[in-house]
Amino acid sequence: MRFRLQRLLAALAAPFRGGPAVEPPDEDPTAFTVRYDRVFDSLSMADLQRDSSPLDESGVLDDLFRSAHGSHYFLNTYSEEGARHAFERYGFFDLLRKRGFEPVFSADVADPDEHRLRIHDGVRRPDRLLIEASVSVRSLDLPGAPACRMLFINWLLMQDPRRAFRPTDVPLPGQAHPGLGLFLRFGYLLRLMAARVECEGMLNHPSYFHNGVLYGKMFHFADPQVEGTFLALTRDLAHLPLAEASNALRDGRVVDAAGAVAEWQPVAQVLPISPRARA
């Protein structure tokens, strides 16, 4: 089936209504931000760079190697224990525990150009992975604000590995399990992380339409024309479940009024934080 778009370049979009949300919103989707902001202000660098175990000789050698090849801190700021402590203070791990998980946190800084954090359930095994985020710091030219320091989200996975899709469910492209329902909260924690490492905003290149919709709760496309097209897409496909809309775009089944196939392009979507980036 092909879906025809109306008013493709409209500037406004209706809320996306099609089907159940991949990450269901909390009852009060923004009240948590006030508490998170308070926790952010209360955390010191000593908290974020704490180390729970003394270094042995091999640890000292590891530190010397890392000093020569890059920081052993996540985003040059967080020790693994410090990041774990921050997630506890924000109450994010308690949210996972209420869902029946036992969060096990780890950070991977082996690649100096791309740091990863992972949260598993109980043990660090691929089949117990709840959250994985791959991030780095990049420079982006914004209108009137050249060379903005941005936290780039290269990859973000949030899933409940205990759950399988029902036969009637339509998974999103690349989705193996249903989501956790914590996208807004984790996204806000990434925003606070960006502020902590002195970034002026956040950046991603959404691979699929549904990624753009989920990030679009907080982000907008850097190119105004792309943003207008995206808003029109969300409006004109709002009668479809999100997974079906995303699959239709991926498969070339969405056309404009002239019959041209609408193609999804993974281009810069940004969340400005600093006044300079927001200007």
* CA 87 to each of CA 34, 40, 47, 237: distance values in angstroms, whole numbers, following the listed order: 16, 11, 11, 36
Q: Are strands 3-4 and 103-108 parallel, antiparallel or unpaired?
A: unpaired
Contact by Cβ (8 Å): 222, 270: yes
Percentage helix, strand, coil for the chain under 3-state DSSP, each rounded to 5: 35, 20, 45
1-21 average pLDDT score: 34
**DSSP at 246:** H
pLDDT at 51: 85
Q: Which sign, positive or negative, has the C-alpha torsion 91, 274, 218, 161? A: negative
Please give the single-letter amino acid code of residue 71. Answer: S
Q: Higher confidence at residue 214 or residue 27?
A: 214
**pTM of this prediction?**
0.82
What separation in angstroms does the CA of 260 have from each of 63, 177, 252? 56, 33, 10
pLDDT at residue 212 tops 60: yes
User: Cβ contacts of residue 130 below 8 Å, gap of 6+?
Assistant: 96, 101, 103, 119, 120, 121, 158, 159, 160, 161, 180
Q: Please name the residues in contact with 249: beta carbons below 8 A apart, sequence gap of 6 or more.
A: 208, 209, 233, 237, 262, 263, 264
Q: Where is 208: in which H helix or E strand?
A: none
Distance CA 1, CA 104 (A): 44
For residue 74, the one-letter residue type is F
Q: Is 93 helix (H, G, I), strand (E, B) or coil?
A: helix
Can you give the pLDDT at residue 218?
Answer: 87
Range of lowest pLDDT (25-34, 127-136, 144-153, 238-247): 25-34
Confidence of residue 171 (pLDDT cuts 50, 70, 90): confident
Residue 204's pLDDT is 96
Least confident of 17-21, 62-66, 90-94, 239-243: 17-21
Q: Based on the number of CB atoms within 10 Å of its own CB, is 142 exposed (0-12), middle (13-18) or buried (19 or more)?
A: buried
Task: Tell me what pLDDT residue 52 has.
Answer: 58
What 68-77 contacts at long range (C-beta under 8 Å, 24+ apart), as own/partner pairs, is 69/112, 70/109, 70/112, 71/109, 71/112, 72/109, 73/49, 73/109, 74/107, 74/109, 74/115, 74/117, 75/115, 75/135, 75/137, 75/151, 75/193, 75/197, 76/197, 77/45, 77/48, 77/49, 77/196, 77/197
Q: Specify the higher pLDDT residue, 256 or 179.
A: 179
Q: Contact at 8 Å (CB) between 77 and 85?
A: no
Per-residue confidence at 124, pLDDT binned at 50, 70, 90? Answer: very high
CA angle 214, 238, 254 (to 5 degrees): 95
Phi, psi (deg, nearest 5) at residue 224: -60, -35
Is 60 exceeded by the pLDDT of residue 55? no
**Residue 82 or 71, more confident:** 82
**DSSP SS3 for 255:** strand
Q: Does residue 144 carry a pLDDT above 90?
A: no
